[in-house]
Structure 1
């Protein structure tokens, strides 16, 4: 099931987005809890926090969050391994990987692990809240600075076989789906894509779900990866 369909099925219209924090720094967890609880106007609820990746699966099963904010570097199990395990669960939550490290490799590894977003811990409180809400609604979240570096790195490092494979995958899309995929790679939200293409946001969601199914990927970050590699 695509991340769009899964998110829409889990998220009811009248309840806050349920968030699980996975981070080994108590001060970071405290700060994230305050930002999300107070800064969202009741739209986000932090349901629990755990200090290491090896506790993430049990916490997800116990608390049933909509979104997990996952640290990368932890003592016993790193966040990317934990993300893979969480996303392998039935009806898994979306995962946003959080880090202080501005690395061009981690966004790709996070996307492969199944994360719907990759953000730096230096994001502004308002941006963090909006990214959580966007991911819960079936969109992605990538730091704008990291997105630019990430896509440039992918473009420069893609091999000829990777480029050909991506081109063949994208050839499965209709012309309109190809246009949506290209705008996803530019980092546009569903609302921005809808405005650009003169369609409704619900139409963009449906097209993105079809795109992900045709490409065999679980999130919009991997759609962006394929578009960038095909160039």
Structure 2
């Protein structure tokens, strides 16, 4: 039986100052070289602590005004300096993909160092938030993310991507998907205040352990609740 790899993504929350969030990351990553873990059974090695961009995109549910671009670019600079080179974003994180594109345009030599993950499925309709995961929409969403990010390939997401991951999924759907194509990782919220992934009823952590699939934990600081500024 394979061991389960758990990789945490620290999100920049408006509830946390940039100094505060990277103080936490620096403490965790204080070794000279970042701790690397395999993303799934045969996946690439990625830093144990990644950087999520949900909180820096605008508009999004947790920002009422946009963070100035220079501040957000500086945030990505600092993430890179600390070895947080596994970056997670999404097409529903406001303009987060666009900000990453601007950073990569300013730092083209660093693209090879960044393991870039993005997501699709959530769409905003006039009637509210909805989901779309049909086969016809997949290449459309992928191309849109590639264009916004300004990259030729997405590391984690039809030949345009290197690895497939799932987010917010049930064990049953996870098993169905993995039977069609090996899944590299599953992303779920996981912190001391959000442990549903461990519950026997949910059974997702055990399923990942059984199949040798990595767990990418988002919001390990509980969206700022565990930050020192609260």
Q: TM-score, normalised by structure 1?
A: 0.31
